[in-house]
Structure 1
Amino acid sequence: MNFNKAEGKRPPLPPFDYESAHLKVRLAEEAWNSRNPQQVALAYTPDSIWRNRNQFIRGRQEIETFLAQKWENELEYKLKKELWSYNFNRIAVRFFYEYRTKEEEWFRAYGNEMWEFAPSGLMQKRYASINDMPIDKKDRLL
């Protein structure tokens, strides 16, 4: 699905049905697995509001900075998202991801996100609750 820069839209657009919500989740998973902060930030409104764990982030520039720092510290990051629920302009997902630190310690993070979309299909709000647990390299799932 291509981002239409001229119209400022990012399909699929709300209102969501099962197919479009599922596609939105797949596209988000692919973008985050790219580990490209600029690419990921384009999926959010310029004034997007995030709560990520205990951090409050506003706007694309803060999103890019946050993600660049995240992926500098979370090496070999790999994410799996699952559609949990959806309605008119909202989607809920559950997810897990794995990463290693520079000290070669492995972690798996589990979480839930609630997303709210603008009519353009850009995400305007993202609320994430995430818990990390250390794992042995041999216990990786991704």
Structure 2
Amino acid sequence: METKPPLPPFTPETAAQKVRMAEDAWNSRDPDRVVLVYTEDTVWRNRSEFPAGREQVHQFLARKWAKELDYRLIKELWACTGNRIAVRFAYEWHDDSGQWFRSYGNENWEFNEHGFMMRRFASINDLPIKESERKFFWPLGRRPDDHPGLSELGL
């Protein structure tokens, strides 16, 4: 059976590694890549959508990144125990009219013994911001290691 290390039970160090790996994948904005870390029967809650299974998650992510342009995300470990990780995050994006947003949220993740995510429950709020209020300026893709995280940015 394929595994997606690090595997549960998580320590603060391995959970932080898992969080950064998720951030990097999501910053790729590639649904084909992102869905491979979820179980075939994964269950999600994302705002008012409830995708179930990799195919629905793939469709959800493709719609998301078609709408949320120039998407840049930072995730931060909040807590972990056993096979569960709690994350807080913020991401910046703009719509097709040029309006910028910073979206804030929390996620609760549950993994199987092979390191695949079975459940993802996200609560998210969108805040319209001016372009001059943006804080995430790295080139699209992976956040550079020397770019501040959420705590350092006061978020």
Q: TM-score interval w.r.t. the shorter chain? A: over 0.9
Aligned alpha-carbon RMSD (Å): 0.5
Instruction: Supply the AA of the counterpart residue of 1:124.
Output: M
1:25 alignment partner in structure 2: 19
1:103 alignment partner in structure 2: 97
Measured in 1, the distance between the counterparts of 2:37 and 2:128 equals 30
1:19 deviates by 1.1
Q: Structure 1, unaligned stretches of length 5 or more? A: 1-6
1:131 alignment partner in structure 2: 125
Measured in 1, the distance between the counterparts of 2:50 and 2:35 equals 15
Measured in 1, the distance between the counterparts of 2:125 and 2:95 equals 16
- Tell me which of 54, 78, 81 is aligned to 1:84: 78
Measured in 2, the distance between the counterparts of 1:9 and 1:81 equals 22
Q: Structure 2, unaligned stretches of length 5 or more? A: 137-155
1:54 deviates by 1.1
1:74 deviates by 0.4
Measured in 1, the distance between the counterparts of 2:123 and 2:83 equals 20
Matched residue SS, 2:17: helix
Identical positions, percent:
54
Greater fraction strand = 1
Residues matched between the structures, number = 136
Moved over 4 A (4+): none
